[in-house]
Structure 1
Amino acid sequence: MKRRSFIKGTAIVTTASAIVTSPVPEGFSRSKSDHANNPGTIIHSVYFWLKKGLSSSEEKEFLNFFQALKNIPVTKKLTFGKPAPTTTRSVTDNTFDYNLIITFENLEDINVYETHPDHLAAAQKYSKFWERVQVRDTIIT
């Protein structure tokens, strides 16, 4: 009896381990998201710290910056928002005012975006609203 329980338990652990460590079949993703990204996709995350003392109308005007970027043809997906009110922890940084996330198909597309006239014009027009910007780009593997 003990041997059967041990073998049954080992089979479950071995099977679970194989599922977790097995390669992902082509065309599938471990992500539960309905907009899974392919290897080589670039996630462009930009954090903005706005100038202190902006009025609510100035902050609303700043949001037009994100709308201007949506029109650049190489942007696959664009979202933005404010810091979430998650639990304060030593690894959490909620000091920024807005976060912009743009998904690009590949490195070529983000290179086009970085020098696109609409991007450059929008950055110049709306930079008067921020005091700090930090960019973090990730390539999906």
Structure 2
Amino acid sequence: MKNRRSFLKKAAAGMALAGLSPLTRKANAGEIKLESALVHHVFFWLKEPDNKTHLKQLLDALEKLLKVETIRLSHIGLPAGTENRDVVDHSYSVSYMVMFDSQADQDAYQVDPIHLKFVEENQHLWNKVIVYDSTDFNL
């Protein structure tokens, strides 16, 4: 049974990587489309933005949060060193972006024990959180 589970996990990972093959070569945006996906983008502002220990705790906790099974793709990042312009906000401490296959998967993520534990154990670190959720448009 263990070998079967291992095989299934490896096969699923292989199929997922095959689906991302356009990302392994230079491709234009029209070649890579996310259809029927829900994007959940969260921005955190730390209470103590210069506290490296708090930053590391949040980054480590976000990495653990990626174990929620309904997450398909993810990105954890810090503000980029892009130019200052009126439309660019570099004021946040950490950006966390995950993608789900459906609204139901995102709903399940919200009540997943891993997510609930993340909030409970880390909410003391931030003073502001903003979430942007988006999904496909149909014209």
TM-score interval, normalised by the smaller of the two chains: 0.7 to 0.9
Mark the structure with the bigger radius of gyration.
1
- Correspondence list, 1:51-130, <5 A: 51-52=47-48, 55-130=51-126
Count of residue pairs brought into register by the alignment: 111
SS at match of 2:134: strand
TM-score, normalized by length of structure 2?
A: 0.72
Q: What root-mean-square deviation, in Å, do the aligned CA atoms of Structure 1 and Structure 2 show? A: 2.0
TM-score normalized by the length of structure 1: 0.71
Q: Tell me the equivalent position of 1:44.
A: 40
User: Displacement of 1:61 after TM fit?
Assistant: 1.4
How many angstroms apart in 1 are the aligned matches of 2:77 and 2:44?
A: 10
Q: What is the rounded CA distance, in whole Å, between the counterparts of 2:86 and 2:54 in structure 1? A: 32
In structure 1, list runs of 5 or more residues that go unmatched.
Answer: 1-29
Q: Secondary structure at the match of 1:76?
A: strand
Percent identity between matched residues is 24
- Equivalent residue for 1:31? 29
Unaligned runs of 5+ in 2: 1-27
